[in-house]
Structure 1
Amino acid sequence: MNITIKQAKDYVNQEVTIGAWIANKRSSGKIAFLQLRDGTGFMQGVVVKQEVSEEIFQLAKSLTQETSLFVTGTITEDDRSKFGYEMQISGIEVISESHDYPITPKNHGTEFLMDHRHLWLRSKRQHAVMKIRNEIIRATYEFFNDNGFTKIDPPILTGSAPEGTSELFHTKYFDEDAFLSQSGQLYLEAAAMAHGRVFSFGPTFRAEKSKTRRHLIEFWMIEPEMAFMKHDQSLEVQENYVHHIVKSVLENCKLELDLLERDTSKLEKVATPFPRISYDDAIEFLHKEGFDDIEWGDDFGSPHETAIANHYDKPVFIVNYPTKIKPFYMEPNPENPDTVLCADLIAPEGYGEIIGGSERISDLDLLNKRIAEHGLDPDAYSYYTDLRKYGSVPHSGFGLGLERTVAWLSGVEHVRETAPFPRLLNRLYP
């Protein structure tokens, strides 16, 4: 019977066949240990000289890293491994030999590994990170489907920009100018007026010449928009969503978190409600912490966000930023017109902002005023202003950056490990 490594637990003491690759091996005079991987997981296969033919034993000893094969044997329990099972191998059929595999068990430099990203993905660590990424995606669909959201797919090619054109990739759309989307938000707002609660999940692009460990040129965003929803209500949705994905990763990625040596006690503290601190109070806090370089009206940098996050043991909302440093579409704060009803959610442990959100302007005259103040072309946003002409309602939304969230939950330092094929400032290959 052909099974996968993930199914091994259901076939204890049964003879099965698994298609796999050799991740590593070691052998002595009488026994060979094969580290098998098949995409669903990693498992040890044991070849005992006295229990197989001489041909099979010599073949096992000669197998090279990343050779593909079918292995046949009996699944047994193995309390010494964290996986809990291994295979007592009785037969080996080589599919394709691998020679001079470039990524060996020794240490390699980051640039070398990034040049070989198509192969680096096979390693245990990268496999674990991608599994956690997949679980976050699965839990995302689960959360929004269970809470009455409809998935809407906004266009990737757009004729306008939600946050200005300074960080957009420009292209030609036949005889018109077009841009790669930096957010699907404006289109999601239109969809929310049709479906009430909507979300998108897709690639976004920022032409930002940044080399920090938090930035990618191409990244994936989860962007919900909700009609008839005020800012405070949106914050509750955000914290419930984040709590859901954290809980799902803790429950369903135990092996992966353990392999990555993630301190899960810190993730277990992520429970709602999340603390909230105003921008004003954040500035005051930073001054007390010795950050004299920041003044009211400045945006926060990585050291500032980290200092604020370190004061708490779970994600923290910073609310009501100054109007002048936020996009044109945000609703003014009625208690202070110099600020807007918005929030950034800062992840603990130095991982920075993972969510940005706000209540959107619902008044047509104010929106037109903001468009003019930002020097934007009103004609390019006529579809957006139409939403305020025909039954405008209070509405709010947010965007969560997938790769930063993966980095936080998996505990990896740089977002380049959280995308299958990351696009960085100086990297478009592989």
Structure 2
Amino acid sequence: MKTTIIEVHKHVGEEVTIGAWIANKRSSGKIAFLQLRDGSGFIQGVVVKAEVEESVFQAAKSVTQETSVYVTGIVREDERSPFGYELGVTGVEVIHEAVDYPITPKNHGTEFLMDNRHLWLRSKKQHAIMKIRNEVIRATYEFFNDNGFSKVDPPILTGSAPEGTSELFATKYFDEDAYLSQSGQLYMEAAAMALGKVFSFGPTFRAEKSKTRRHLIEFWMIEPEMAFYEFEDNLVVQEQYVSFIVQSVVKNCKLELGILDRDVSKLEKIQSPFPRISYDDAIKFLNEKGFDDIQWGDDFGAPHETAIAESYDMPVFITHYPTGIKPFYMQPHPERDDVVLCADLIAPEGYGEIIGGSERIHDYDLLKQRLEEHNLESDAYKWYLELRQYGSVPHSGFGLGLERTVAWISGTEHVREAIPFPRLLNRLYP
């Protein structure tokens, strides 16, 4: 009977066949241990010389790392294994022998591993991170589907920029200028006026020449947009959503979190509501902590966000940023013209901003004024302005960066390991 590693718990005591790769092996005179992986998980196969034909034992001893095989054996429970099961091997059939596999069990440098990313993905820790990423995606769809959102797919090629063109990849769209999208937000606002509550999930691009552990050139964003939702309503959705995906990973990725040595107790306490601090108070806090390099009107850098986050063991909202450092579309504070109704959600443990969100301007005249102040061409935003002409309503939304969120939940230091094939400042291969 053919099965997969993740399904062996259904076949305890039965003989099964698994198509797998040899992740590692070790052997003594009379027994061989095969570390098998099939994409669904990892399991140990035990080959006892006295219990199998000589050809099977010799195949088990000589098989090389990453050789593909069909392994047949009896499924046994094994309390010593984190997975809980092992395979008493009765047969080994080599499909394709791998020769001189470049990533051995020894330590390798980061650049070498990144050059071999197509192979590094096979390792146990990288596999665990990708499974956690998959769970975050699965839970995202569950959360928004269960809460009445419709998924809408905004275009990747756009003729306008939500946050200016300075960090966009420009291209030619026949005889017009076009850009790779840095956000689907403007289109999601149009979708919200048609469908009420919507979300998108797709790639975004930032031509930002940054080499920090928090930045990618191409990354994935989840961007909900909600009609009739004001600033406070928006924050509630954010904290409910983040709590939901974290607890889904805690529940469904126990084995993967264990492989990564993640402190699960830090994740288990992530439950809404989240603490909040205003931008004003954050500046005062930082100055009191000795950060003399920042003053009111400056944006926060990674050290500032980390210092604020260290005061909490939960994600924290920083609210009401100065108008001058935020995009044109954010709704002004009703009682102050120097700040806007926005918030960034900062993850604990030094992982920085994972969400940026705001209430959007819904007044036509004010939005037109903002576009002019930012020197944005009116023709390119004509359709966006028209959303404020025909039944405009208060509305809000946010964007969650998938890779930063996965890095935080999995405890991975660098976002380059939170995406299958990262695009970095100096990396377009593989």
> What is the TM-score normalised by the length of structure 2?
1.00
Could you say which residue in structure 1 is the equivalent of 2:149? 149
Correspondence list, 1:25-40, <5 A = 25-40=25-40
Could you say which residue in structure 2 is the equivalent of 1:169? 169
SS at match of 2:404: helix
Q: 2: distance between equivalents of 1:272 and 1:97?
A: 51
Would you say 1:125 and 2:125 are equivalent positions?
yes
Could you say which residue in structure 1 is the equivalent of 2:415? 415
**Structure 1, residues 313-365: CA drift from partner, whole Å, max 9, x if none?**
10000000000000000000012110000000000000000000000000000
Could you say which residue in structure 1 is the equivalent of 2:395? 395
Q: 2: distance between equivalents of 1:36 and 1:264?
A: 26
Could you say which residue in structure 2 is the equivalent of 1:109? 109
Could you say which residue in structure 1 is the equivalent of 2:368? 368
Could you say which residue in structure 1 is the equivalent of 2:188? 188
Would you say 1:379 and 2:379 are equivalent positions?
yes
Q: 2: distance between equivalents of 1:266 and 1:307?
A: 18
Could you say which residue in structure 1 is the equivalent of 2:58? 58
CA RMSD of aligned residues (A): 0.4
Could you say which residue in structure 2 is the equivalent of 1:8? 8
Would you say 1:240 and 2:240 are equivalent positions?
yes
Amino acid at match of 2:342: C
Q: 2: distance between equivalents of 1:268 and 1:49?
A: 45
Could you say which residue in structure 2 is the equivalent of 1:209? 209
In the alignment of these two chains, the number of paired residues is 430
**Structure 1, residues 66-96: CA drift from partner, whole Å, max 9, x if none?**
0001011100011111000000000111100
Q: 2: distance between equivalents of 1:244 and 1:271?
A: 8
Task: After TM superposition, give the deviation of residue 268 of structure 1 in Å.
Answer: 1.2
Q: 2: distance between equivalents of 1:87 and 1:271?
A: 39
Could you say which residue in structure 1 is the equivalent of 2:273? 273
Amino acid at match of 2:386: D
Q: 1: distance between equivalents of 2:357 and 2:335?
A: 18
Amino acid at match of 1:217: I
Could you say which residue in structure 2 is the equivalent of 1:100? 100
Q: 2: distance between equivalents of 1:52 and 1:335?
A: 80
SS at match of 2:18: strand
Could you say which residue in structure 1 is the equivalent of 2:327? 327
Task: After TM superposition, give the deviation of residue 269 of structure 1 in Å.
Answer: 1.5
Amino acid at match of 2:364: L
SS at match of 1:356: strand
Q: 1: distance between equivalents of 2:97 and 2:79?
A: 31
Could you say which residue in structure 2 is the equivalent of 1:259? 259
Could you say which residue in structure 2 is the equivalent of 1:90? 90
Could you say which residue in structure 1 is the equivalent of 2:140? 140
Q: 2: distance between equivalents of 1:393 and 1:276?
A: 26
Question: Which segments of 5 or more consecutive residues in structure 1 lack a partner in the other structure?
Answer: none
Task: After TM superposition, give the deviation of residue 112 of structure 1 in Å.
Answer: 0.1
Q: 2: distance between equivalents of 1:205 and 1:275?
A: 30
Task: After TM superposition, give the deviation of residue 271 of structure 1 in Å.
Answer: 1.2
Q: 2: distance between equivalents of 1:251 and 1:309?
A: 25
Correspondence list, 1:265-304, <5 A = 265-304=265-304
SS at match of 1:190: helix
Dislocated runs of 4+, deviation >3 Å: none
Identical-pair percentage: 77
Q: 1: distance between equivalents of 2:204 and 2:259?
A: 30
Q: 2: distance between equivalents of 1:225 and 1:11?
A: 46
Q: 2: distance between equivalents of 1:73 and 1:275?
A: 53
Q: 1: distance between equivalents of 2:141 and 2:206?
A: 25
Amino acid at match of 1:427: R
Q: 1: distance between equivalents of 2:227 and 2:296?
A: 32
Further displaced range: 259-268 or 338-347:
259-268
Q: 2: distance between equivalents of 1:263 and 1:55?
A: 44
SS at match of 1:10: helix
> What is the TM-score normalised by the length of structure 1?
1.00
Task: After TM superposition, give the deviation of residue 272 of structure 1 in Å.
Answer: 1.0
Could you say which residue in structure 2 is the equivalent of 1:17? 17
Task: After TM superposition, give the deviation of residue 257 of structure 1 in Å.
Answer: 0.4
Q: 2: distance between equivalents of 1:334 and 1:275?
A: 22
Q: 1: distance between equivalents of 2:16 and 2:58?
A: 21
Question: Which segments of 5 or more consecutive residues in structure 2 lack a partner in the other structure?
Answer: none
